[in-house]
Chain A
Amino acid sequence: NAGVTQTPKFHILKIGQSMTLQCTQDMNHNYMYWYRQDPGMGLKLIYYSVGAGITDKGEVPNGYNVSRSTTEDFPLRLELAAPSQTSVYFCASSYSTAGNSPLHFGNGTRLTVT
């Protein structure tokens, strides 16, 4: 089992460019999430999905878009990248949204916008 796989691991983006961070999971989890972690801070929820075709905004959605066409994949798109989007991005999945259903995280994408 690979779990949650994120690509790329690292990327440098120029201001104003766009890119897609890829995330795929092989645990057949319905629930998937995108978080960002800034230095010295906790994880902030960007977007989440409760199943294929259903997505919703989290705490910090501005500047991002998501889609969920399959159970396995949950890509995150950055449009018109800004330096404030420099961060480490984590994708996660869970069996349910019940509080006792822990999140399974990928290893992150470290993005620098310059």
Chain B
Amino acid sequence: DQQVKQNSPSLSVQEGRISILNCDYTNSMFDYFLWYKKYPAEGPTFLISISSIKDKNEDGRFTVFLNKSAKHLSLHIVPSQPGDSAVYFCAASAKAGKSTFGDGTTLTVKP
């Protein structure tokens, strides 16, 4: 059973608009959630994280929202830029545990 799910394999948005990437999880023991961004032929790079004791974390154009009761988190990118086009992975970890990754969402930002 997949513990971290990204149900949208792809998302296309216009430059300047908001991109919203979603992630659902099943394990209530997860206490940290991270987003990674991956360009082709490169490794994933860390983007932003959120602790389970918070419901929002913001870093520049990127904001992550956590709804613990729904076991759902989302990454908002505002405004979206063509350079944001990449695969975004949601990951979750329990205390001192290893990260579990979703299958990723490919974001395309059109100029």
Tell me the A residues contacting B by CB distance below 8 Å.
4, 33, 35, 40-45, 48, 58, 90, 92, 97-100, 102-108
Q: Specify which chain A residues have a CB less than 8 angstroms from the CB of B94 in the assembled complex.
A: 99
Known contacts: A42-B104, A99-B31, A102-B49. The answer to whether A48 contacts B43 by CB under 8 A is no
Q: Specify which chain A residues have a CB less than 8 angstroms from the CB of B99 in the assembled complex.
A: 45, 103
Count how many chain B residues have C-beta atoms less than 8 Å from C-beta atoms of the other chain. Answer: 28
Interface residue? B4 (CB, 8 A): yes
Q: How far is the CA of A92 from the CA of B89 in the complex (A)?
A: 15
Interface residue? B70 (CB, 8 A): no
Shortest distance from the beta carbon of B96 to any chain A beta carbon, whole Å: 5
Count: A-B pairs, CB below 8 Å: 66
Q: How far is the CA of A40 from the CA of B102 in the complex (A)?
A: 10
Tell me the B residues contacting A by CB distance below 8 Å.
4, 6, 9, 30-32, 34, 36, 41-46, 49, 51, 89, 93-99, 101-104
Q: Can you offer 7 A-B residue contacts whose CB atoms are under 8 A?
A: A42-B89, A97-B98, A99-B94, A102-B36, A102-B49, A104-B46, A108-B42
SS class, residues of chain A in contact with chain B: loop
SS class, residues of chain B in contact with chain A: loop
A105 and B103 contact, CB distance less than 8 A: no
Q: A43-B44, A105-B36, A105-B45 are in contact. List 10 more A-B contacts (CB 8 A).
A: A4-B43, A40-B103, A44-B101, A48-B98, A99-B34, A99-B51, A99-B94, A103-B44, A103-B46, A108-B41
Shortest distance from the beta carbon of B24 to any chain A beta carbon, whole Å: 13
Q: How far is the CA of A103 from the CA of B38 in the complex (A)?
A: 13
A97 and B96 contact, CB distance less than 8 A: yes
A90 and B51 contact, CB distance less than 8 A: no
From A91, which residue of chain B is reached at the shortest CB distance? B43
Counting chain A CB atoms within 10 Å of each CB, the highest count among B42, B95, B99, B102 belongs to B99
